[in-house]
Amino acid sequence: MLDLQRMAGVADKAVVRTLTLRRADSCVCCGSNLAVGDRAAWDSVAKTVTCLPCLNSVPVAAQPTGEVEPSLDPRALERGTAGKSVAREAARRSERHRQRQEHRIAADREWRARVKAQRPITGRLQAALTPKVRAQPVPQHVQSWVTGTPGEQKVGEALDAIAGIIALHDRRKPRTRSNIDHIAVTPAGVWVIDTKVRTGKKLEFRDRGGLLGRDERLIVGGRDETRMVGDMAWQVETVQRAGAELLSDIVVRPALCFVDVTLGLLDRRPWTVKGVAVCWRASLPDLLLRPGPLDDRRMTEIADRIISRLPPA
């Protein structure tokens, strides 16, 4: 009863809302188990869940009416963990590589023991002339996942440090294995940010169009990496659909954020290649802190909708 009274006391502050659970929990009042997908009341201040029968036992005057608006407290949002899915995939690939190496070395050891037992003289000679199987370095397709984890974490920390925006991390596209590294809800709109780790490589913008028109190119370490720009289209479309009507009049912009690259002497502000912003950690505030029509309430509503549609990866 005390929990119900407390809920009744805070309901008028818009901290209680009815939602669909994304993880199992138990009712704070009666202790009954609640499964994923059940409807329940979430108290964003006390961080507790109340089943609907208990919620309905609160006096009518104290109950939130209908589907209560979000608490509009950005601190209560489930923002996700930057680099979590990359770290998980890196660990899986590293473990598979290690197991393959151990299997090859063990098979080589067994073969040497077998040929020596079968042919004591020629077998020993054959084993001595055959190079031993040794552990190989981690291949590039595995190493890229390993180095990608700290890169996403660095960008995530930089985004979280920017006051006045709401940063979401590592969101999964429904029914796929694809993920979006970062989403930033800002006063000027929504940004989809993809992290790229290119340690020590120089980042350049080139226009190869000449007199006939513009042909913008993204050059990384002397190589044309403009294909990265095209890869942002599906991410923008995914976020636009997740926001639905809340983003009907809001522009969703794409950005590539490079980590540990080398910049030119004059490169201090982000630039744009074929409509995609190119930036680095130090330039994120210049890119994201621009005035716009969204206030804190609207930003939180948009972030809450995206979170509900794009779960953590």
Predicted local confidence at residue 199, as pLDDT: 87
Where is pLDDT greater, at 227 or 53? 227
Is the per-residue pLDDT at 117 higher than 50? yes
Say if CB 157 and CB 149 are below 8 A apart. no
What are the tokens at 242?
Answer: 């997740």
Helix (H, G, I), strand (E, B) or coil at 129: helix
Confidence of residue 38 (pLDDT cuts 50, 70, 90): confident
CA 257 and chain centroid, separation: 13
| Euclidean distance between CA atoms 230 and 194, whole angstroms | 12
CATH architecture of 2-70: 2-Layer Sandwich (3.30)
Q: Phi and psi for 63 in degrees, rounded to 5?
A: -75, 145
Average pLDDT, the chain: 82
The domains of the chain are located at 2-70, 95-140, 147-309
Say if CB 311 and CB 171 are below 8 A apart. yes
CA 136 and chain centroid, separation: 31
Q: Average of pLDDT values for 244-257?
A: 89
| Euclidean distance between CA atoms 198 and 168, whole angstroms | 23
Kind and range of the H or E element at 102? helix 84-118
Radius of gyration of the chain (CA): 27
Q: Phi and psi for 284 in degrees, rounded to 5?
A: -60, -45
Summarised one tens digit per residue, pLDDT across range 40-71 is: 887 776 678 887 777 665 443 344 444 434 44
Beta bridge partners of 279: 257
Q: Average of pLDDT values for 266-279?
A: 88
Is the per-residue pLDDT at 29 higher than 50? yes
In this structure, the chain runs to a length of 313
Is the pTM value of this prediction over 0.85? Answer: no
Q: How many CB atoms lie under 10 A from the CB of residue 172?
A: 17
Report the candidate in 167, 144, 221, 180 with the shortest Cα–Cα distance to residue 311: 180
| Euclidean distance between CA atoms 222 and 4, whole angstroms | 65
Q: How many CB atoms lie under 10 A from the CB of residue 219?
A: 17
Summarised one tens digit per residue, pLDDT across range 127-167 is: 899 999 888 888 887 877 777 788 899 999 999 999 999 99
**Token pair 């042919």 is at which residue?**
119
Say if CB 246 and CB 305 are below 8 A apart. yes
| Euclidean distance between CA atoms 207 and 214, whole angstroms | 6
